[in-house]
Amino acid sequence: MQRRNVIRGTLFVLFFSIGAASLSSSILCDDLVQHYQNKQLLKAAQESLDRLKCLKADYDVLLAELEKDPNLVKRLAPATLGIEPEDANTVYPRATAEQLAAARRALTEDPNEQSAEPAIPQWLSRCSEPRRKTTLFLSGAVLILTSLICFGPGKSKIKVQKAK
């Protein structure tokens, strides 16, 4: 009798927990999708913020150097604007095609490019389809009802003794 109750209790917990999980996942599916989308947007915003902080630090260093050395503007202007240098006695290095291509790639890369991992897990995108969400809800409800009806607390058998 004790072994039978243990098996019934185990089956009750198993069926009820699976049913509750599928029922709750079908109900909370839209909230989970929204959560993962917000998480992806937060990650993209954080990457953008980190890039802006890095650019700000670079510009702060450049402005500090410009304040220290006013002649730096005269040296940077030809390189920045693409004009030929004025001083004939100074040798200016030329950038190679590989260096220019590497700099162009670094400057043109999209900071908001989607990462390799998907924003929403595949199981959640499948569960968010209306037909599958309804199926999950109904199967969860059936499992919970089955566990309550078939494996719930047994009927207590009261033995009525006949008075002699």
Per-residue pLDDT at 2 exceeds 90: no
Give residue 138's Cα distance to chain centre.
29
Q: Are 124 and 32 in contact (CB under 8 A)?
A: yes
Q: Which value, in Å, is the radius of gyration of the alpha carbons in the chain?
A: 35
Q: What is the pLDDT confidence band of residue 81, given thresholds at 50, 70 and 90?
A: confident
**Mean of the per-residue pLDDT values for the chain?**
83
Neighbours of 89 (CB within 10 A): 4
Calculate what percentage of the chain has a pLDDT beyond 70: 84
pLDDT score, position 46: 95
pLDDT tens readout for residues 93-146 = 777 778 878 888 877 776 555 555 667 888 888 989 999 999 999 999 999 999
pLDDT score, position 65: 86
Give residue 158's Cα distance to chain centre.
58
Q: Are 5 and 126 in contact (CB under 8 A)?
A: no
Average pLDDT over residues 138-157: 84
